[in-house]
Amino acid sequence: MNSERVQDLGSKIIGQLKAIFDPEIPVDIYELGLIYDVMISDENDVKILMTLTSPNCPVAETLPVEVEEKVKELEEVKGCEVEITFDPTWTQDLMSEEAKLELGFL
């Protein structure tokens, strides 16, 4: 697998994820630390392992679908699957410095 190709596609996927915002928090889901892993196969199938801020999150049904659709918008992506996990549980420690600053935690 061409690591440069994967890195380029990975950067594009992250760009797409940064365009999706948690409706309750004015920070994108990537900076919030909701994305645990992005896996890209040799065939450009993408699997995203993510979490939600809580199991009772009001967007639990719609956010994974939005993530999948946004990633599939990329021409290079053949398919996308989003898996939700609560292991480990999301905490504010997973947020980027940028997100913490934006929300006044720094």
Domains and CATH numbers, the chain: 3-102 (3.30.300.130)
Q: How far is CA 106 from CA 30, 40, 72, 91, 96, in A?
A: 18, 34, 35, 15, 11
Model pTM above 0.85: yes
Lowest-pLDDT range of 16-20, 32-36, 56-60, 63-67: 56-60
Q: How confident is residue 59, by pLDDT bands cut at 50, 70 and 90?
A: confident
Strand-pairing partners, residue 45, are 79
For the segment 31-51, the average pLDDT, to the nearest whole number, is: 96
Closest C-alpha to 40, from 72, 12, 67, 6? 6
Report the b/e string of 58-75 with b at 16+ CB within 10 A: ebeeebbeebbebbeebe
Strand-pairing partners, residue 80, are 46
Calpha distance 67→80 (Å, rounded)? 9
Strand-pairing partners, residue 38, are 48
